[in-house]
Amino acid sequence: MAFIVVCGVFNVFCARALPLTELVFTVVHLIGFFAFLAVLWATSEHAPASVVFTQFEDYGGWGNKGLSTLVGITTPLWCFLGPDAGAHMSEELKNSARVLPSAMMWGSVLNAVLGFVMLVTLCFCLGPDWQDGVLGLGDTPTRTGIPIVEVMYRATGSIAATSILIALLIMLSAIGTVTVIATSSRQVWAFARDGGLPYSRIIRHVRPGWAIPVNAILIILLISLLVTALNFGSDVALGAIISLSNAGLLFSYILSIGSVRLKRWRGEELLPRPWSLGRWGALINDIALVFLLISFVMTFFPETPMPGAEGMNWAIVIFAFVIAVASLNYVLGAKNKYVAPVMLVKHE
């Protein structure tokens, strides 16, 4: 929780240093990537390629490896959620209509390539008996209960080397948290500016001379602390909130891409834009929607079939509750206050 507070304080008092900080940690990210690759390939025992590329396991007990893969897709999918984060900062960028889409696309492509290389490396370098020694699936728990720590320690055999490498991950997580707070606070502020949230007048207020939405940052900080506190009370509740965040992001992508695809289907002209997918736009929209719809459904699946109350994925219940509350808020008053961005575009 102190970690989140520090990241929130950084966003309030060091916001001007955020671009430079992100640039520095982009370099750290690349250095850490190659450091992990070098250490793993040089020091660990390698699995045969036949095991890495042809062996499939169904540890969830679904009885079907295809279904098991779909259920498990939500975890790696999380790594690719949030490329739209830069859009929340677009009003603070120069030439954002051209620069931002390019950064979103090529950033996703670069990290997909790096992520795949790291995934293959880990599969080769997990070491023998990784089911028990890394994942702790056996009767004896692992030393730390954290798989990546176990992988690095089994590879290096050194507590010092493992600590240095894991420290790199913690540093990257820190700057990631700073960025998440920055982008989410801008989104909350923009939504409040348009009258879409309760107490919008308070949330959207920006103190003279600050040029940053401090109130929105504080709200994000408070919500983050409350969600983190769930970890001390209920793992089930925390897991449901995490699954809900995945579902919420996917649902927002479905709505936005679906709206564009609907305009294409109707033959309506899209708004003028300096960045375009050209003739491939409709096909890319279709592929994205199919993938997103399947992934959205899978986020509500439990880890294993026929779970009990503790193993159940309650995200679908919370998702329905959030939709109900948001709809009620809109009907009871927000519809008279909320000015959608599309209305501003039409007005201009």
pLDDT digits (tens, 9 = 90+) for 23-76: 888 888 889 999 999 999 998 888 888 888 888 888 778 888 888 888 888 878
Residue 316: name the closest of 254, 220, 246, 256 by CA.
Answer: 246
Q: Tokens 């728990």 correspond to what residue?
A: 141
Residue 343 predicted with pLDDT over 70: no
When pLDDT is cut at 50, 70 and 90, the band that residue 347 belongs to is low
pTM: 0.82
Q: Which amino acid is at 257?
A: I
CB 338 within 8 A of CB 194: yes
CB 43 within 8 A of CB 153: no
Percent of the chain with pLDDT over 70: 96
Average pLDDT over residues 206-233: 86
Residue 89 predicted with pLDDT over 90: no
With b for 16 or more beta-carbon neighbours within 10 A and e for fewer, the 229-262 pattern comes to ebeeeeeeebbbbbbbbbbbbbeebbeebeebbe
Residue 107: name the closest of 84, 90, 88, 91 by CA.
Answer: 84
Residue 348 predicted with pLDDT over 60: no
Q: Which amino acid is at 4?
A: I
How many H-runs (helices) and E-runs (strands) does the chain carry? 16, 0
Contacts of 137 (CB under 8 A, 6+ apart): 59, 131
Q: Give the pair of three-digit tokens for residue 49.
A: 């390629």
Q: Mean pLDDT over all residues of the chain?
A: 84
Average pLDDT over residues 221-226: 89
12/204 Cα distance (integer angstroms) = 15
Q: Which amino acid is at 76?
A: P
Q: Which residue has the higher pLDDT, 15 or 35?
A: 35
pLDDT at 66: 87
Average pLDDT over residues 126-138: 76
When pLDDT is cut at 50, 70 and 90, the band that residue 166 belongs to is very high
